[in-house]
Amino acid sequence: MGITSQLIKFTTTDVPEEAAAMMRLSLFDWAACGIAGASEAEFAPFKRAQMVEDGPAQVFGGGQAGAAVAALVNGTLSHALDYDDTHFAHIGHPSVAVLPATLALAETLGTALTDAVDAATVGVEASILVGQWLGRDHYQIGYHQTATAGAFGATLAAARLLGLDKSQIRHALGLCASMASGLKSQFGTMGKPLNAGLAARTGVEAALWAQAGMTAAEDGLAGPLGFGETHHGRAEPVKMPRKEWAISTISHKYHACCHGLHATLEALAEVDAETDRIEAIRIRTHPRWMSVCNIAAPKTGLEAKFSYTQVTAMALSGHATASIGNFNDTLARDPALKALRERVEVVEDDTLTETQSQVTLTLTSGEVRRHRHDLLAPMSLETRSVKLRDKVMALLGETRGAQLWEAAIGQDLESLTGCFAGA
């Protein structure tokens, strides 16, 4: 059975309790990122340009719109801070593509929150599977998996909510294949979060169009001249999950920058040395991150989120990388940090996985210290929830963070989306 047929069958599968519990945590994290992202002034003109008609779906920062527009805006704003979750099996941010589509459509349909969570869980899992099927060549050549694989995940989540039959889901995936898009060249610009918003909107539109009777290629994903064949996909073998779902190994961010930098930052947290005692810093990382988050001399706060040298200088100088406010143009151009950046060397090391990093410090005394971290080190749901609540409280404040937490683990969809307006 090909991947398209497997995905169609998977759309109606039962969702394990543990997978849904992880989805609830990502829902909480994603909503907090969206609420905080809506306060980014540079995205205000974008939001105003989209809000041309009213609708039933809540939009981050206030206002309501139709499902497709709400998915576009919420997907973009929730990725604006680049503080949302990642899955390293395909190097994508699944929640920012799937959840905006799912919740916007769920509000339109009056779906229960539990059913929306199940649909989102299936969609996230599907996006990971599609990303694995496309393979690393697809990502490495320049496509943004959040936008490409994410669009297919959003489509399947929407298809589940709408109750599409097998033929309609096949057509929805075919329509999605003509729309899914997103490039890594947008990293460090406002185009990167837009990739997520476009994927979310694609999911809503493809599913609604298929429901309305639009048809598409028999297999727009994996068939001849389909998405995979034309987008450097390798058609890697994948298996649909049973008891253990890929979402259980999702990685949440505890630093407000590209996830490729997080293993290094966790390793740097173990460093106990004043900057004037450090002669050189060598960072070893997986080769794929060299083209993703290795801007050597960032000039803006956005570029700083994709810079090993900048985050290393920030971390060693006491500028909290968990604080979104520290990723600004002023710190990117700070003379002291720029001088420290000059002591940082980033080296690719194919013996490391994409979730690992090794930091070697050479001190002025000649002493050499090494620190290593792996983001896939096991973490319980309880520990993860505590870390995420700490993160969200810092983002939104105690009162709003607590309100969002209760809504995210509750049963009422309106209580959750009612938090989107923020303060």
15-58 confidence digits (pLDDT tens)? 999 999 999 999 999 999 999 999 999 999 999 999 988 899 99
Q: Taking a C-beta distance cutoff of 8 angstroms, is the pair 175, 68 a contact?
A: no
Report the CATH superfamily, name and number, of domain 3-251+381-417. 2-methylcitrate dehydratase PrpD (1.10.4100.10)
Specify the domain boundaries for CATH 3.30.1330.120 within the chain. 259-374
Query: What is the predicted pLDDT for the residue at 82?
Result: 87
Residue 112: partners with Cβ closer than 8 Å, 6 or more residues away: 411, 413
Give the pLDDT score at 377. 87
Residues of the chain with pLDDT under 50: none
Rg (the chain; Cα; Å): 21
Tokens for 213, please give them.
């009777």
3-state secondary structure of 356: strand
Instruction: With residue 19 as reference, give the H or E element that holds it.
Output: helix 17-37
What is the DSSP track for 204-268? HHHHHHHHTT----TTTTTSTT-HHHHTT---------SSS-GGGG-B--SSSS-GGGHHHHHHH
What pLDDT is recorded for position 356?
97
Cα(315)–Cα(290) distance, integer angstroms: 20
The Cβ of residue 409 has, within 10 Å, a number of other Cβ atoms equal to: 15
| The pLDDT value given to residue 423 | 56
Q: What are phi and psi of 38, to 5 degrees?
A: -65, -20
Question: Is residue 25 classed exposed, middle or buried when 0-12, 13-18 and 19+ CB atoms within 10 A define those classes?
Answer: buried
What pLDDT, on the 0 to 100 scale, is given for residue 394?
Answer: 86
Contact present, 21 and 381 (Cβ < 8 Å): yes
Say which CATH topology domain 259-374 has. Answer: 60s Ribosomal Protein L30; Chain: A; (3.30.1330)
pLDDT of 1 reads: 76
pLDDT of residue 286: 96
User: CATH 1.10.4100.10 occupies which residues in the chain?
Assistant: 3-251+381-417
